[in-house]
Amino acid sequence: MPLFLLVGLPVLASAAAYAQRSPRFRLGWLVGTALVHVTVVATFWVHPAAPALGGWLAVDPLGLVVLTLVSVLFLVVAIYAVGFLRTETPRGGPVFVSCLLAFLAAATLVAISHHLALVWVGMETTTLALAPLVYHRHDRRSLEAVWKYLVLSSVGIALALFGTFFLAAAQTQGRPLILEDLIAGSGSLQPALLRAAFIFLLVGYGTKMGLAPLHAWKPDTYGEAPSLVGGLMAGALTSCAFLGVARITQVTVAAGYDSFVQPILLGFGLISLVVAAAFMIGQTDLKRLLAYSSVEHMGILVLGLGLGGVGRYGTVLHLLNNGLTKGIMFLAVGNIVLVTGSATSDAARGILRRLPVSGVLLLLGLFAVTGSPPFGLFLSEFTILNAAIGQGHPWVAIAMIALLALIFVGMAAVVLEVIYRPPETEAPAVRENLLLVAGPIALLVAVLVLGMYIPPPLQRVLTEAARGLGGVAP
Amino acid sequence: MSGLHELLLLCVVLTNFWVLGTTRLSATIRATAIQGGLLAALPIALHPGWSLHIIGLAAGTFLVKAILLPTFLNWAIREASVRREVEPLIGFTASLALGALAVALSFGIAERIPLPESDSALLVPVALSTVIVGLLVLTTRSKALTQVVGYLILENGIYVFGLSQVERVPFLVELGVLLDIFVGVFIMGIVVFHINREFDSLDSTRLTELKD
């Protein structure tokens, strides 16, 4: 029952918000739904949810991590949206809120669905729900961005559907396309069809994750979408897409094809790191910089998945850390855009004086996102690095260290210039709205805590999730 | 009814070639409408038994792929008043040749795919060649609207492949897939409409402002 509520409530709220004439009530639906969603998800940590719809909907440890991430990030974004919509008045007020809620419903469906075709339906819906939000500014640049986003994501997702059908064809026993039955009957899966399914699903959902070289839509989309939408995409949408990749990896590994899966995942991971490093250097737009940072972290996620062993524990932890950190970065940049009207590093110069809180958030966020201690990403990247050495891939470890160092330099150069270089014309400090900074501050605290202490319930869930993927906890 | 579905599948291939060979956008849309109708008839021909599942799938497919989407796309070209694909990146003769190559290739690949209990020997090769033709149209045509048609053909190819699994995928999920495709094409159509208004052209090659 609570599982139906999690998907059904945002759907209803989305319709209600669209019909609502008063902006105040509309935002009430947004924040209210986000609060209920977080509360219900929180109860799952104490009392695990019972499967529903004959096993189609269930919450396993990996799904719980993604679900919690989506829920928390959505609450932060919803509160931010209240402040954002005060200063920015989009042409389609009802559409904006309604699409955000529709995204929440679809992302929840992806996280809790154990029927792999239903996962596809949810994934395609997340793409469509965010499209009108990318076109928020209604100008030529955002039009170009939304076109690229729609076409590339849709083709990617179509290939994932192809892969899903291959997987159905590969299955010879058990309920069709139910994750548990696929894993239980993994020995009887038809090998050639399973491999084809893995490739198509990886390319399909990998496009949605933004793994290089399938990332072409990402910088344009993140660059043009409103920052809070970018934060949702980089934190929640990519995590859902990763869950799709993780599911098929789970099945393929259970069938005993770890040696087939590993080199492919390692290849995508390393290419993503190389592309991210190459395009970050000399980047002048903060949002595009974050898009390449997202390509980097998606690369690290599949790298950990490909390394196996402890690496898979690191990947699950990294998933959580990356999602929270992207929220901080995009919302901090969003505050800069609200004041300066642009995300280019020239316009944002001297931001520490104009926006002290957001400036500090951006500075600390820089260290968090590049994996510096004591933030959570350091811990997860370190775990993955350890796995590379432990699993006998020293060259992967060396490449990873070198590329992460390059990425740190590339990102720090842009962000530090924005923060410390004096602006051309001195502008007075702006009083910052609590609604616009409270969320990112809370996320920063969470990432900081995760870097130093992992609470036992979380540790347990992470361990089980890693085991589910065929890995182990350190 | 074993002969009927083979005939329908061959007609699907013919509509693919129709799309590849024509310059007129309205003809492209008509071809996809007819393809949609063929796809709606296919499940009935493949699984004669009149189960509710099959009837529902056929009706839903007919409604979405043969009526709603073609009507909507026709509306979009009327609003945009464009009629022809003028400069494709690959000429029409060349794309027809590539289409023929795709069919040959698909038969080659299909032989290597060990599908259990395959309903028809033509099902998998037709599905694969339709997917390839869809990708071809999507990548080689410069009009945004033709690219939407390409996406639709790609989805149609995957649909044909999915028919081999029709007993294994529940009706509810199929409805979800159809609905997603409908909304997807609908949003793409709206974006095409905006591209036309903003740039006075349906040419997606003009979208070149964003780069590093």
pLDDT of A107 over the 90 cut: yes
pLDDT at A42 (0 to 100): 96
Task: Give B104-130 pLDDT, tens digit per residue.
Answer: 999 998 888 777 656 678 889 999 999
User: Which of B165, B168, B188 comes nearest A150 by C-beta?
Assistant: B188
Q: How far off is chain B from A360, nearest CA to CA, in Å? A: 27
Instruction: Give chain A's end-to-end CA distance (angstroms, integer).
Output: 36
Residue A91 pLDDT = 55
**pLDDT at residue number B1:** 46
| pLDDT 10s digits, A424-438 | 777 778 888 899 999
| pLDDT of A123 higher than 80 | yes
Say yes or no for a CB contact (<8 Å) between A162 and B151.
no
CA nearest neighbour of A349 among A286, A435, A439, A275: A286
Q: Report the C-alpha gap between A307 and A182 in whole angstroms.
A: 23
pLDDT per residue as tens digits for the range A43-57: 999 999 899 988 899
Q: What is the percent of chain A with per-residue pLDDT over 90, rounded to a whole number?
A: 81
Quick: pLDDT tens for B166-188: 888 888 788 888 888 989 998 88
Residues A440-445, mean pLDDT to the nearest whole number: 97
Distance from the B195 Cα atom to the nearest Cα atom in chain A, whole angstroms: 7
Interface contact flag, A158 B151, Cβ < 8 Å: yes
Asked whether residue A290 carries a pLDDT value surpassing 70, the answer given is: yes
pLDDT of residue B116: 61
With 0-12 / 13-18 / 19 or more C-beta atoms within 10 angstroms meaning exposed / middle / buried, residue A83 is buried
Kindly list the residues from chain B whose CB atom is less than 8 angstroms away from the CB atom of residue A224: 210
Contact between chains at A177 and B131 (C-beta distance less than 8 A): no
Contacts of B170 in chain A (CB under 8 A): 117
**Burial of B93 per CB tally in 10 Å (0-12, 13-18, 19+):** exposed
Which of A124, A155, A169 faces B151 most closely, judged by CB atoms?
A155
ipTM of the complex: 0.92
**B117 interface with A at CB cutoff 8 Å:** no
Contact of A432 with A358, CB cutoff 8 Å: yes
Q: Are A232 and A72 in contact (CB under 8 A)?
A: no
The whole-angstrom distance between A124's CA and the closest CA on chain B is 7
User: What are phi and psi for residue A285, nearest 5 degrees?
Assistant: -110, 125
Provide mean pLDDT across the span A183-204: 94
Q: Is A281 on the interface with B (CB under 8 A)?
A: no
pLDDT of residue B83: 66
Q: Is B194 on the interface with A (CB under 8 A)?
A: yes
Query: pTM here?
Result: 0.95
When pLDDT is cut at 50, 70 and 90, the band that residue A37 belongs to is: very high
Tokens of residue A350, six digits: 């001297």
More reliable by pLDDT, A91 or A56 = A56
Q: Per residue of chain B (212 residues), give pLDDT as tens.
A: 468 889 999 999 999 999 998 888 889 999 999 999 999 999 999 888 788 889 999 999 999 999 999 999 998 888 777 666 666 777 888 889 999 999 999 999 888 877 765 667 888 999 999 999 999 999 888 888 889 999 999 999 999 999 888 888 888 788 888 888 989 998 888 888 888 777 766 677 777 777 77
- Take residue A346 and report the two structure tokens written for it: 């020239």
Q: Give how far B16 is from chain A: nearest CA, Å.
A: 18
pLDDT beyond 80 at A236? yes
Q: How confident is the model at residue A353 (pLDDT cuts 50, 70, 90)?
A: confident
